[in-house]
Structure 1
Amino acid sequence: MIDSHCHIDFDDFSEDRAAVLERMHAAGVKHAICISVNLADFPRVLALARSRPNLWATAGVHPDYQDVEEPTPEGLCRLASDPKVIAIGETGLDYFRLKGDLSWQRERFRNHIRAAKQVGLPLVIHTRAASADTLGIMREEGASSCGGVMHCFTEDWETASAALDMGFYISFSGIVTFKSAESLREVARKLPLDRILIETDAPYLAPVPHRGKRNEPAMLAATANFLAELLSIKREAFIELTTANCYCLFNRLQKSYEH
């Protein structure tokens, strides 16, 4: 298994991070991708990724972070020059948490796509209550040329289908295990198996039966087990499949795996 999206650099893990990583290994999670959410914290994310051969980083600024240093395509490309950085993001649009003039959010998203295309790395995209604009900008900026993943997917089939058409993967978090998420499970049932990724988004969104607890990479197993049963696939086959998908998307991770 590969946790394709987590935030184990956060202070939530400051007291027991070593134990969290031990549990991750024991649960069969081979790699974890530690996601950047702003430029100020990027050095912390990168330091964590460098500390272990199976931890990786991304470079980007989350759309919910408003009053922070704005990333430029050139700046993101510089950060991505480190071989431990395997994607650009987390980026995208979020009209749920923030209101008003969000033109800055859209321009930030465009800058991430431009950087990803320049360095040849995939995008990690966050979209919430903004699917039409997210897809529109992806098309306008030619995001299909670099590809990426729609992380912690919670949108409808039409959004998933449009992302698939642009060569993107769809990643499921613990939300797919929640009782209220039947519409999301319907999306999962329709997806081609070679486009599915899994993630924790730790410390958030712990899957059933851990819901309400601090999430961590070891809990990825619960989401994998749930989806395997939902899709009528043997657990081992589903894990092998989603792991292969992750290696296929993240080319720097693939090169590490091959060597």
Structure 2
Amino acid sequence: MLVDTHCHLDFPPFVEDLDSVISRAAAVGVRSMVTIGVTLDRHPGNLAVAERFDDVWCTVGIHPNEADTAPEVTVDTLIRLADHPKVIGFGETGLDYFHKRAPKEVQEHLFRVHIAAARETGLPLSIHSRDAIQDTADILREEYEKGPFKAVLHCFGGSPLLAEVGMELGLLFSIAGVVTFPNARSLHEIIPSVPLDRLVVETDAPYLTPVPHRGERNEPAYAAFTAARVATLKGVDMEEFRRASTDNFFRLFTKARRPRTAGH
């Protein structure tokens, strides 16, 4: 089986056919998925999606592009919202200097709030970093010195610095459909050096649709194409990669349960 570790099943493109989306994913072995939080206002709807399906989980958090929607959110608020069997982590959180939709200082503050919640609860967080590699690396190292926390680098893009920091701090690397793009050379070059026990896959659906479906809406079933490309880059067969990445996910997201009928 495979796990789509990062998707957005509460987003409008899935309103009409979510049951079919989940069925198509299961048909190709994508048995579990995590629908990721982006704002606190959207959390009830995202949680409802997770509650509707046995093997869909969710996180709670504020995307850096939405940081100014709740700039004063506290660690206690995040921890309270995570006190639900279906909420298995925090985020997505981090820094985004590409869109510039929220001030850098607000993004940084909320990033540290999410990290503190992860540290206090032991739940992992999903980290977003776009055009902010150095600041992301600096904050991760500074916060880790205060005490360890668990995290996954969402949509890892092949940055040598983030690879170094991720390895240093014991983070997981989540690979999205970008890896199937011919021009993703830095990612192609760095994946072979990332240990198999640090890799998971994601879709970021409905975004970042992999080859051969570019131009279409992305969905969890397409994680299989990403997994196949990563397995090739790692020089392992697909079954070995499926097993390893699934084990990696459940080792990090300890609140999630394996599907009842799916071993590895």
TM-score normalised by the chain length of structure 2: 0.93
Residue among 172, 180, 186 paired with 1:183: 186
Letter of the aligned partner of 1:110 in structure 2? R
Distance 2:41 2:252 in 1: 27
Q: Which residue of 2 aligns with 1:55?
A: 56
From the superposition, tell whether residues 240 and 40 of structure 1 become closer, same or farther in structure 2 (CA, over 3 Å).
Answer: same
* SS state at 1:215 partner: coil
1:148 aligns with 2:158: no
* SS state at 1:197 partner: strand
8 A contact 1:172–1:199 mirrored in 2: yes
Specify every segment of 5 or more residues in structure 1 that has no aligned partner in the other structure, as ranges. Answer: none
The structural deviation recorded for 1:67 is: 3.6
8 A contact 1:123–1:147 mirrored in 2: yes
Distance 1:116 1:211 in 2: 34
Between stretches 162-171 and 131-140, larger displacement belongs to: 131-140
Q: Which residue of 1 aligns with 2:96?
A: 94
1:131 aligns with 2:133: yes
Distance 1:256 1:213 in 2: 28
Q: Which residue of 2 aligns with 1:157?
A: 160
1:193 aligns with 2:211: no
Q: Which residue of 2 aligns with 1:122?
A: 124
1:7 aligns with 2:8: yes
* Higher RCO structure (Cα 8 Å, ≥6 apart): 2
Distance 2:102 2:40 in 1: 24
Q: Which residue of 1 aligns with 2:21?
A: 20
8 A contact 1:248–1:254 mirrored in 2: no
Distance 2:97 2:252 in 1: 27
Letter of the aligned partner of 2:70 in structure 1? E
Residue among 210, 218, 224 paired with 1:207: 210
Q: Which residue of 2 aligns with 1:105?
A: 107
Q: Which residue of 2 aligns with 1:46?
A: 47
CA displacement, residues 107-152 of structure 1 (integer Å, 9 cap, x when unaligned): 0101101111111101110001111111211122228612110000
Runs of 4 or more above 3 Å deviation: 254-259
Letter of the aligned partner of 1:135 in structure 2? A
Query: How many residues get paired?
Result: 259
Distance 1:100 1:196 in 2: 30
Q: Which residue of 2 aligns with 1:218?
A: 221
Between stretches 162-171 and 150-159, larger displacement belongs to: 150-159
Distance 1:68 1:204 in 2: 22
From the superposition, tell whether residues 99 and 48 of structure 1 become closer, same or farther in structure 2 (CA, over 3 Å).
Answer: closer
Distance 1:100 1:46 in 2: 25
Distance 2:222 2:176 in 1: 10
Q: Which residue of 2 aligns with 1:34?
A: 35
From the superposition, tell whether residues 244 and 100 of structure 1 become closer, same or farther in structure 2 (CA, over 3 Å).
Answer: closer
Percent identity, aligned pairs only?
Answer: 44
TM-score normalised by the chain length of structure 1: 0.95
Letter of the aligned partner of 2:116 in structure 1? R
From the superposition, tell whether residues 146 and 27 of structure 1 become closer, same or farther in structure 2 (CA, over 3 Å).
Answer: same
Residue among 240, 244, 256 paired with 1:253: 256
Distance 1:89 1:190 in 2: 27
